[in-house]
Amino acid sequence: MYDWILGAFLLIWWRDPSLRSVRPGIRNPGRTLTIQDRLARLDWKAIEASLWQRGYAKTDPLLMAEECDALVALYSKDQLFRSRIDMKHFRFGEGEYKYFTYPLPLLVQTLREQIYSRLAVIANAWAKTLGQPDHFPLNHDELLAFCRRNGQTKPTPLLLRYGAGDYNCLHQDIYGAVAFPLQLTAFLSRPDRDFSGGEFLLVEQRPRTQSRGEVLTPRQGELVIFATRHRPMQGSRGYSRVNMRHGVSTVRSGSRFTLGVIFHDAK
C-alpha cells in the first residue's frame, strides 16, 4: 500500500512543474528557513570585524519580501503602537514614526532577542577596550530587567515612514541611563522602485580631526547594525572613543519604510 502511495506522489510530482521546483527531501531555503536559521547563516565574523573597523556592518538580505511587506502593513494598525512621533513637531526632521507597544510582533521580538545575544559579546568587548565599567548580560530578558530597575519600561522598536521631502536629522537613540551600544535598522522598501533618495547616513565625530560620513543604500530586507552612541577606534596610541550619529537624507520621491530595533527600553 505504501509503495502505491509513494508511486502516485512521484507521478504527480513529475507532471507538475511547480512541485518539481522543490526536490523531495530538500528544503527550499527561500521559503522554509526560519528567521533563526537565516540569522545563524549570516557571516557573524565579518559583521564583528566591520563593527570594530567602521562602527557599522551591513548584512546580506535577511528578511524576505513578504516579511517586509507584512511589517509595512502593520503601520496602519494603531493598536500595535504606544505612540506616534511627528518629526517636524520636534525638529527631528520631517516624516513620522511609531513605537511598538508590548507584546511586540513575533518577527520584531525574534530579531530583538536573537541578535542581541550575539551583539552583547561585542558590546562587552567594546566596554572593556574603552575602560568602561559597563557589562551587559548575554540574555535580552536580563537587559530589560536591568532597564526596569532604572525606570526604563517602554519598548523602543519602531516603524519609520518617510514620503517625498522627508528626512531624519543626525541623532542618537539613548532614552535613559541604560543604553546598549549597538542597534539596527531593517530596510523594508525597495530603493529606486518604492522610493528615491533617502540614503542612510552615519557620521563619526573623531577626536581632534574632522567628522567622517558614510552614505548607505541597503536593499530591501538587509540590516545595518551600528553604534548607538560611540565606538572604539584604534589609533597610534591605542583605542579612543568616537561618537557616532545616524540619520536619513531627503527622500526625493515615493515612500520609504524601515524597522528600527533598539535593544534597551525607554523611560
To 10 degrees, what angle do helices 44-54 and 106-129 make? Answer: 50
Whether 15 has a pLDDT exceeding 50, the answer reads no
* Alpha-carbon torsion (73, 77, 81, 87), positive or negative: positive
Instruction: Using pLDDT thresholds of 50, 70 and 90, give the confidence band for residue 6.
Output: very low
**Mean per-residue pLDDT for 201-208?**
89
Q: Which DSSP helix (H) or strand (E) runs through 82?
A: strand 81-86
Residue 75's pLDDT band, with cuts at 50, 70 and 90, is very high
| Domain ranges across the chain | 1-32, 33-262
For residue 19, pLDDT over 90 is answered with no
DSSP 8-state class, residue 209: S
**Phi/psi at 236 (5° precision):** -65, -20
pLDDT-derived band at 207, boundaries 50, 70, 90: confident
pLDDT digits (tens, 9 = 90+) for 153-188: 999 999 999 999 999 999 999 999 999 999 999 999
**Could you tell me if 143 and 264 are in contact, meaning their C-beta atoms sit under 8 angstroms apart?**
yes
Could you give the residue ranges of the DSSP H alpha helices within the chain? 2-15, 17-20, 29-32, 35-41, 44-54, 65-73, 106-129, 140-149
* pLDDT average, residue stretch 195-208: 93
pLDDT value, residue 124: 98
**Please, which pLDDT band fits residue 208 given cuts at 50, 70 and 90?**
confident
Pairing of β 238-248 and β 230-235: antiparallel
When pLDDT is averaged across residues 33-50 and rounded to a whole number, the result is: 96
Per-residue pLDDT reduced to its tens digit, 228-267: 999 999 887 889 999 999 999 999 999 999 999 999 999 9
The C-alpha cell at 147 is 532597564
pLDDT higher than 60, residue 23:
no
Q: What's the average model confidence in pLDDT over 64-82?
A: 98
Query: Can you tell me the distance from the alpha carbon of 240 to that of 206, in angstroms, rounded to the nearest whole number?
Result: 9
CA atoms of 26 and 72, how far apart (whole Å):
31
Residue 1 has pLDDT above 80, yes or no: no
**To the nearest whole number, what is the mean pLDDT of the chain?**
90
**33-262: which CATH topology?**
Jelly Rolls (2.60.120)
Rounded to a whole number, what is the largest CA-CA distance in the chain?
80
Q: Quick one: pLDDT at residue 31?
A: 53
